[in-house]
Structure 1
Amino acid sequence: MRINNNISAMNTYSRLTSAQGAQSKSLEKLSSGLRINRAGDDAAGLAISEKMRGQIKGLNQSVRNAQDGISLIQTAEGSLNETHSILNRMRELAVQSSNDTNTNADRKEIQNEMDQLATEITRISGNTEFNTQKLLNGTFEGKFHIGANKDQNMTLAVSDMSSKALGVAGTGGLIVSNTKSAATTPALADLAVSAGEKLTLEVLDTATTIGDAAGTQVANAKYLLKNEAGDIVGASADGKVFSIAADGEAGNASTVDFAGAGEVTFEGVVKGDVTVSANATTPANADFTADVALAEETDLASGSYKYVTAANRADSTVDVLVNTANNEIAAYIGANASEWKDAAGNVVLETSRNLVANEEFEINSASGINVSTQEAANTAIKTIDDAITAVSAERSKLGAVQNRLDHTINNLTTTSENLSAAESRIRDVDMAKEMMEFTKNNILNQASTAMLAQANQMPQGVLQLLG
């Protein structure tokens, strides 16, 4: 009998320690609900589980991506629904104007409504947005990421749905303000102009020769300055340099001495009233927008534009037109100072005179398709039919993509569900099974404790030998 090494106690203690460790792990798994709480629990299983978790999260986000895509499509398609309604009304007007029971005045009113409808189609195409992205102006081409992994996406491009792209925008839709008919042999009045007096600018349809009593003549005049009494006190061929009467009241401090100069230079043609400054050869006109006679149809979008010369541009030697709404260059000057070209070199605007530095003007190019005559209205019916077909095709495409995304969402949801089940089998604990293990380890722990007490008593048998 040996007492220095109680082998039975040591063996029992080892079993007790093992039972306590197993019981501790069972408690950890039961309290967390996870079979793998650390890499040491199952190194391979942990790696597989984390990869699956990445896939599951990607699939769930892809479902949300697809749902956002459907929302975008519904936004675009909803706007096209209104475009369809407008086109149907335009077709109705075209059919109405095709009937010769209408007079020219009737057709003028029909044309006015047609212009407004075309403008609204263009406004819808330019203003329909989703998350600040324009959808119907021909610039949207996006990818919907509908998978958990790289390159699992689909592309959607939406066509330009403006009135011009649909073919229902009119030609010659540029508006020239302050246009007047030329008077019969107008004369340049021999009058002075008082300081503070307002002059009205008129733009003639046809250039004519303006003369005064002293024999002064202005050839090919298209721009007239009139005082409040209707007298012509200035005339110009180019809208910049105006000839005036031969004998103003020189030396009178309360008047502008036109007589001494013989002409007055403006910073560009103005529209409306011009206030004359005292003792100056240039009437103040900074508060007025320049009026430009637009000679031909333009492809420039409706809006406000500013002429910026090369001298005012540090980055170029080319004169340009700038869209004042977004400060983007819309056109550049061609070889002819009245011709403006786009980036491809196409002439998009011709003005009836040369522009002046920093001159601003408005363009309205959004008129509707011509229905002002029986022939034009009859032709317009087919054009509008083609536009309706184009919108129908675009809406059909959007609807097909939306249906595709609906199926995509169902597929992604099912895949995510099945992958989650597989990941759960690897990562999550089986509570019933683990409870069995815990009960077993608990019993073993108690039994080992009792046996360790017994093993510790075994060396006491040596005392019997000592008597």
Structure 2
Amino acid sequence: MGLSVNNNTAAYNTYRNLTTTQGQLSKSLEKLSSGYRINRAADDAAGLAISEGLRSQIQGLTQATRNSQDAINVVQTAEGALSESTSILQRMRTLAVQASSQGSINDDAKGNIQSEVVQLKAELDRIATTTKFNGKALLDGTFNSTFQVGANAGETIAVNVGGAMSASGLGVNGVDMTAVGAYTNGAAAAGKVSTANATSAANSELTITGVAGATFASTGATVSAFQGLKGSISFGGKTFDLGSVDYSGVTTTADALTKLNDSAKTALGLTGTAPFTSTQTTLVFQVNEAVTGYTGTAGAALSDSAANVDNATPVFAAGTGASDAITALDKAIKTVSTTRANLGAVQNRLEHTIANLGTATENLTASESSIRDVDMANEMTKFTSKQILAQAGTAMLAQAKNLPQSVLSLLQG
């Protein structure tokens, strides 16, 4: 190669190699400082696309794990509250067994037992109403939701608490330890005064105890017959004495019946139409066929305001006494226990879900790491090599730039 001063080819060649080495050294430094083999799409276009897809899966699985844990927290909150509901129902059942012992429990004791039962039912309702998770009611019968437990659409688990866990929802709102079963229209209550709202022991709203038979004249009921009524009627923990009605100024049996009905409604707190259904417009007393001197139809009402009342569904249908309360409470306890068992099964499933999500996250993270993360040892080896080449290239560039000076020797000679 000839000597020239206009173009130092050796220097150009050295500079080009040095520039390439510097670029490689810079990329190596970037990988070592970031920890990633792929910092931009140009580093590995296909690898970047694959790793981004894996990252989406990993982040989705991580959130799904948190969602699953939230689901467990919801289930534990509901089950914890139901545990206390079970304790309440067990206590109510114990009281029902106690109240069923007719030989050792009098009416006053039953009233005291019923007072506790009323408070326990109120607490059942409070628990069912106030048990919430992030503002969502869990035990009022409305909670039926799904939880996203996977990284992809449709990967959900449903959690359904079931029906309302309130006293009415469990069928124990009508439990009344003071009830002994209602009189049935006809011979079963012969010689007694009954009501059209108390048609059978299993379907009653009112309980009449100790009612003396009333004697009517052969022409039918008289005001004096109403005045001779004795005994009491109980409802919702309140008692009405049949002999306490003031019939002053009453001249007809219709007025006497109205007075009796109104007095009973006031004493028992049955104002307005409650607790009767739409076809039950008033509290109606009636006499039965076997009453002395009464020739009417068995169970015929003394007032026509009882129309269709026998076909109505009583609101207080479960209030049939301590013995029936045991049956109702057994059913309620079974309902709550079944609900708790279902929630426990869901919680076990969710725990397995979380374990599976953890394994999947670990494996996908390993896959993403193998594509995107830099091998520090290998990259450090490359970095050292490029660093040496950069130093050598710098030194050689210094030498190459001095090559044209040899031309001066020719010029000086």
TM range (shorter): 0.5 to 0.7
Whether the 8 Å CA contact 2:115–2:237 is kept in 1: the answer is no
Aligned: 1:428 with 2:405: no
Whether the 8 Å CA contact 2:131–2:137 is kept in 1: the answer is yes
Distance 2:318 2:113 in 1: 11
Aligned: 1:416 with 2:361: yes
Whether the 8 Å CA contact 1:115–1:367 is kept in 2: the answer is no
Counterpart of 1:30?
32
Aligned: 1:82 with 2:84: yes
Structure 1 position 207, deviation (Å): 7.3
Counterpart of 1:164?
168
Distance 2:36 2:345 in 1: 44
Amino acid at match of 1:124: I
Structure 1 position 166, deviation (Å): 1.9
Q: How does 1:31-430 map to 2 (within 5 A)?
A: 31-101=33-103, 102-159=105-162, 160-170=164-174, 172=205, 182-186=245-249, 208=255, 292-294=271-273, 296-297=275-276, 369-370=318-319, 376-430=321-375
Structure 1 position 177, deviation (Å): 9.8
Aligned CA distance change for structure 1 residues 386 and 177 (closer, same or farther; 3 Å): closer
Whether the 8 Å CA contact 1:115–1:368 is kept in 2: the answer is no
Distance 2:14 2:270 in 1: 107
Counterpart of 1:282?
none
Whether the 8 Å CA contact 2:276–2:315 is kept in 1: the answer is no
Whether the 8 Å CA contact 2:18–2:390 is kept in 1: the answer is yes
Counterpart of 2:180?
none
Structure 1 position 82, deviation (Å): 0.9
Which structure is richer in relative contact order (CA contacts within 8 A, separation 6 or more)? 2
Aligned CA distance change for structure 1 residues 176 and 222 (closer, same or farther; 3 Å): farther
Distance 2:400 2:130 in 1: 89
Counterpart of 2:200?
none
Distance 2:138 2:368 in 1: 40
Amino acid at match of 1:208: D
Distance 1:221 1:166 in 2: 35
Distance 1:9 1:24 in 2: 22
Write 1 or 2 for the structure with the bigger share of helix.
2
Tell me the secondary structure at the aligned position of residue 167 of structure 1.
coil
Aligned CA distance change for structure 1 residues 292 and 379 (closer, same or farther; 3 Å): closer
Whether the 8 Å CA contact 2:139–2:165 is kept in 1: the answer is yes
Distance 1:27 1:85 in 2: 67
Structure 1 position 377, deviation (Å): 2.5
Amino acid at match of 2:165: M
Number of aligned residue pairs:
317
Distance 2:319 2:339 in 1: 25
Counterpart of 2:382?
437
Amino acid at match of 1:429: V
Whether the 8 Å CA contact 2:205–2:317 is kept in 1: the answer is no
Amino acid at match of 1:402: Q
Range 169-178 or range 100-109, more displaced: 169-178
Amino acid at match of 1:10: Y
TM-score, normalised to structure 1's length? Answer: 0.60
Structure 1 position 108, deviation (Å): 2.6
Taking every aligned residue pair, what percent have the same amino acid on both sides?
A: 50
TM-score, normalised to structure 2's length? Answer: 0.67
Tell me the secondary structure at the aligned position of residue 144 of structure 1.
strand
Distance 1:10 1:440 in 2: 22
Structure 1 position 455, deviation (Å): 2.3
Counterpart of 1:190?
none
Structure 1 position 368, deviation (Å): 10
Distance 1:366 1:153 in 2: 40
Whether the 8 Å CA contact 1:35–1:430 is kept in 2: the answer is yes
Whether the 8 Å CA contact 2:146–2:156 is kept in 1: the answer is yes
Distance 1:455 1:162 in 2: 95
Aligned CA distance change for structure 1 residues 93 and 221 (closer, same or farther; 3 Å): closer
Distance 2:169 2:262 in 1: 37
C-alpha RMSD of the superposition = 3.6
Structure 1 position 125, deviation (Å): 1.4
Distance 2:95 2:259 in 1: 42
Structure 1 position 5, deviation (Å): 2.9
One of 15, 18, 36 as aligned partner of 2:17: 15
Distance 1:18 1:410 in 2: 49
- Superimposed CA distance per residue, residues 111-160 of structure 1 (whole angstroms, 9 cap, x where no aligned partner): 33223322322222122111111111110001111111111111111122
Tell me the secondary structure at the aligned position of residue 163 of structure 1.
coil
